[in-house]
Amino acid sequence: MSQQEKEYLELFKKQSEMMLGWGNSEFWSNSDFEKLSELIFGKTNVSLSISTLKRVWGKVKYDSIPTTTTLNTLAQFSGYESWRSFCAKAAAGEINNTVAAKAPLVADNPAKPFRNRRWISAALLLTTLIAIVLVWTSFHNKTAQVIDRSKIVFTSKMVSDDLPNSVVFDYDIGNVHADSMVLQQSWDPRRRETLSPQQHQHTSIYYYPGFFKAKLIVNNQLVKEHEVYIKTKGWQGVVQPDQAPDTKPFYLSDKEIRGENGAIGVTSKILTEKTGKKVFNEVWTGFFDAHEFNVDPNDFTFNATLQNTSAKEEVLCRHLKVNIIASSGFISVPLCTKGCISDIRVNVSDRAIDGRDHDLSALGCDFSKPVDLKLVVKNKMASVFIDQKLALTVPYSRNLGRIVNLIVLFEGSGFVKNIAIR
């Protein structure tokens, strides 16, 4: 990584701190990095470990540079196409941040020495001002108002047992002086809404079923949180037509998702009718079964028969994923066309295995016939079997918590049957 890229990385971190609204990263705790890892996965479907994020933010001494995968994932989390795209915008002076990128300002152009000196002086002045602001922020954080959380009210209720579902949040911070108050509705940082201390209710629409943790944040302090659990009545099919943040999903009827021999799936014909598209790259259909599963999250077996039925002309890599969501973590097992295994990532609680630096070829399939998937979790070890052959073992350390949602995702068309978790 060049010196210029290092400066871009510092700029990126400052911009991320502003986007998250968590204050100076110097004061971030381990739980903050844990939450950041969850947010990144939620938006990019790529899991960056807590230790990786700490290395990027300089919390852990590490001499190596971040991998391209890490940089691209961080850039995509912040709304850029790639790390290269972020750097190009930074070089063009298009990054909107109070911390200016020094590299574009201090241009290496001997034909304009006076202009360079002027920019250097401006950069030094800006750096001094930033230092003053950071010192003030440090002092402000250390002397922040102590909030008695026991006196804060933060509850919610769902208005329906169907999808979409509006949730009514009731809140009361009493006599606390709030310079800022925010409702974090889920893991997604885009789902933050500013609240008024003078009001005591706020409503939000949830389009997807699942298990969320709503948070009330006052003066950049997390003061209350509780579960928001949007359950399903059996299997619910949901089509996400593209990756744009404001795009609403399509729901599939029970008739549309039920196939022969108990299979659950979606055909290319139905996808075309719903989306108007005949090519389904980045068009994902999720099948959700959200309820309390009566199994031991530290000792269970999952079985399923799956197939991505899209033609290569419809979906290039024919991805599919099985996600087992728990109250304190998740497991994600991806399958895809053999030639695309570089783009997949396995997640098990606090562990992530990336196809860019691990051989995940055992998870590559030709999908000319259905695939039998088996996942065995026991003694903090997850073992993945494909067609009765051991494909991967992943040790982990953080408890998953109770299992609350089972999700099967197809890029394009596909089906799943013989599902069992016990």
Which two structure tokens, joined as six digits, stand for 286? Answer: 């999720």
Rounded Cα distance between 394 and 348, Å, is 7
Of 290 and 132, more confident:
290
> Minimal CA–CA distance to 37: which of 65, 3, 91, 74?
74
Closest by CA to 53, choosing from 325, 343, 220, 62, is: 62
What's the pLDDT at 178?
85
Domain ranges within the chain, ordered by starting residue: 3-142, 149-230, 236-421
Tokens 């009330």 correspond to 216
Helices (H) and strands (E) in the chain, counts: 9, 22
Both tokens assigned to 91:
């070089």
Pairing of β 381-386 and β 250-252: unpaired
Residue that wins the pLDDT comparison between 337 and 177 = 337
Q: Which of 42, 331, 14, 349 is nearest to 184 (CA)?
A: 42
Q: Flag whether pLDDT at 191 surpasses 80.
A: no
Measured over the CA atoms of residue 52, residue 58, residue 59 and residue 63, the dihedral's sign is: positive
114, pLDDT greater than 50? no
The structure tokens listed for 225 are 């949180």
Residue matched to tokens 């009731």: 170
Cα 269 to Cα 54: distance, rounded to the nearest angstrom: 46
Average pLDDT value for residue range 25-35: 81
Instruction: Please count the other Cβ atoms lying within 10 Å of the Cβ belonging to residue 325.
Output: 20
Pinpoint the alpha helices (H) of 215-306.
254-257, 268-275
| 148-158: b (≥16 Cβ within 10 Å) or e | eeeebebebee
Please, which pLDDT band fits residue 117 given cuts at 50, 70 and 90? very low
Averaged pLDDT, 53-68:
78
Q: How far is CA 285 from CA 198, 236, 257, 264, 340, in A?
A: 41, 10, 11, 11, 19
pLDDT for residue 311: 94
Q: Are 351 and 387 in contact (CB under 8 A)?
A: no
Could you tell me the pTM of the whole model? 0.67
pLDDT mean over 284-290: 96
Spatial distance between the Cα atoms of 354 and 334, rounded to a whole number of angstroms: 11
pLDDT over 70 (residue 288): yes
Cβ 193 vs Cβ 183: under 8 Å: yes
Say whether 236-421 and 149-230 share the same fold: no
pLDDT at 143: 43
In this predicted structure, what is the pLDDT of residue 168? 96
**Domain 236-421, architecture per CATH:** Sandwich (2.60)
* 149-230 CATH fold: Immunoglobulin-like (2.60.40)
Give the mean model confidence (pLDDT) for residues 104-108.
Answer: 27
> Model confidence over 346-394: pLDDT tens digits?
999 988 898 988 999 999 999 999 999 999 999 999 999 999 999 999 9
Cα separations in angstroms, 176 against 146, 182, 221, 226, 335: 9, 14, 12, 20, 50
Q: Using CA atoms, how far apart are residues 140 and 72, in angstroms rounded to an integer?
A: 33
CA separation for the pair 401, 394 (Å, rounded): 18
Q: pLDDT at residue 406 above 70?
A: yes
Q: How confident is the model at residue 284 (pLDDT cuts 50, 70, 90)?
A: very high
Residue 2 has what pLDDT?
66
**pLDDT for the residue numbered 98:** 39
Long-range CB pairs of 108-114, under 8 A, 24+ apart, other chains included: none
